[in-house]
């Protein structure tokens, strides 16, 4: 009887220690007197009660005492609610989602702050602070999202001109995100369809804005993301006088942006993440490349990520969409 009590106590402790994991929500098995038979599970291929795979269950589960019989007849069990499905594509709960389909307010594009960047494009004011904010809100209980992103270029070190914000681009959008329930069957593919507006909120002659519909297909599997986005710009009248607010603010922007962009993300060892974005117009030969690399401030339970940034090409900001820019920067990333 003492032997059984020891085994019973060990079983309860092991069960209590395992139910703290996010996906381990099976109730611990109750202990029974030594004279009572213990039923074996009829489905030996199902997940083990502590989350062990069937192949490991025999070696990791506690052994039963010799005086306890095992019955082959199943005992009635109370149906337990299924654990809530997690929307993470990454198995690491401490890492940010590669593609988020969460409820309520959630992250959208990378959010970062670079206290120092350098670009030789802007003579006399090459050093800037650059930061980006981005989030989205799920609507009506379906994967329809209202999103907002903002990227700012701050001349914080240009005291001769009172440290102005050189440019801020505002990017609201509305999109639908489709992710199949059986992702493995569909090769972990998904799609976005939406509409977005982008402008810098300035008056003439520095006003820049455009509207576009877009569609994107992506594959998010294990620790990588491949995201290919295509768009159609709503046409505007570029024949009006430059002083007319209804005139096209940035004519021929497709010449420099192209009509699609390809993004690839790969999570590496130690929760490091590499991200590359490429835009290219094969007709004009113009485009852009953006490389980002993030490193957690500590391997376990990171608070933020060190951030490295490189841009080469057109369209880093709307104001100078038709000028090629080279920029390098360092900082921190809060969401990636």
Size of the chain, expressed as the number of residues it contains: 336
Measured CA distances, 258 to 31, 180, 280, 284, 292 (Å): 67, 30, 6, 9, 21
Tell me whether strands 38-39 and 70-71 are parallel, antiparallel or unpaired.
Answer: parallel
Q: How far apart are CA 255 and CA 275, in angstroms?
A: 24
> Left, alpha or beta for 42 (phi > 0: left; psi -120 to 50: alpha)?
alpha
Q: How many angstroms separate the most distant Cα atoms in the chain?
A: 96
Q: Work out whether the CA dihedral 205, 211, 217, 221 comes out positive or negative.
A: positive
Query: Running DSSP on this structure, what letter comes out for residue 159?
Result: G
Measured CA distances, 178 to 127, 135, 189, 194 (Å): 41, 18, 9, 11
- The set of residues, in sequence order, having a beta carbon less than 8 Å from that of 318 and lying 6+ positions away, is 167, 169, 198, 199, 200, 208, 209, 250
Measured CA distances, 67 to 4, 33, 37, 122 (Å): 9, 11, 10, 83
Residue 273 backbone dihedrals phi, psi, to 5 degrees: -135, 130
User: Is 252 in the active site?
Assistant: no
From 100, 149, 152, 199, the catalytic residue = 199
Q: Work out whether the CA dihedral 8, 14, 17, 19 comes out positive or negative.
A: negative
Q: How many other C-beta atoms are found inside a 10 Å radius of the C-beta of residue 52? A: 15
User: Is 197 in the active site?
Assistant: yes
From 197, 207, 224, 260, the catalytic residue = 197
| Active site residues per annotation | 197, 199
């Amino acid at each position: 009887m003492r032997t059984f009590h020891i085994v019973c106590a060990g079983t309860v402790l092991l069960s209590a220690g395992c139910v703290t994991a996010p996906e381990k929500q099976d109730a611990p098995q109750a202990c029974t007197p030594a004279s009572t038979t213990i039923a074996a599970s009829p489905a030996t291929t199902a997940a083990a009660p502590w989350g062990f795979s069937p192949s490991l269950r025999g070696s990791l589960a506690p052994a039963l005492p010799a005086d306890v019989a095992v019955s082959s007849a199943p005992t009635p069990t109370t149906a337990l609610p299924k654990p809530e499905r997690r929307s993470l594509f990454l198995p690491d709960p401490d890492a940010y989602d590669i593609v988020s389909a969460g409820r309520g307010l959630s992250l959208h594009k990378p959010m970062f702050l670079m206290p120092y960047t350098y670009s030789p494009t802007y003579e006399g004011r090459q050093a800037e602070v650059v930061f980006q904010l981005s989030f989205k809100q799920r609507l009506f209980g379906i994967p329809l999202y209202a999103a907002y992103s903002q990227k700012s270029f701050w001349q914080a070190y240009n005291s001769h001109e009172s440290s102005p914000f050189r440019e801020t681009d505002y990017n609201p959008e509305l999109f639908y995100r489709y992710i199949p329930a059986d992702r493995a069957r569909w090769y972990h593919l998904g799609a976005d369809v939406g509409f977005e507006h982008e402008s810098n909120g300035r008056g003439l002659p520095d006003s820049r804005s455009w509207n576009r519909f877009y569609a994107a297909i992506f594959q998010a599997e294990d620790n990588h993301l491949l995201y290919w986005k295509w768009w159609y710009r709503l046409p505007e009248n570029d024949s009006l006088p430059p002083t007319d607010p209804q005139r096209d603010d940035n004519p021929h922007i497709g010449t420099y942006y192209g009509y699609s962009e390809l993004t690839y993300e790969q999570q590496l060892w130690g929760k490091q993440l590499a991200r590359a974005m490429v835009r290219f117009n094969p007709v004009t030969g113009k485009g852009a490349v953006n490389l980002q690399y993030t490193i957690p401030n500590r391997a376990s339970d990171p608070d933020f990520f060190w951030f490295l940034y490189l841009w080469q090409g057109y369209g880093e900001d709307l104001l100078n969409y038709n000028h090629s820019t080279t920029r390098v920067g360092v900082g921190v990333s809060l969401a990636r």
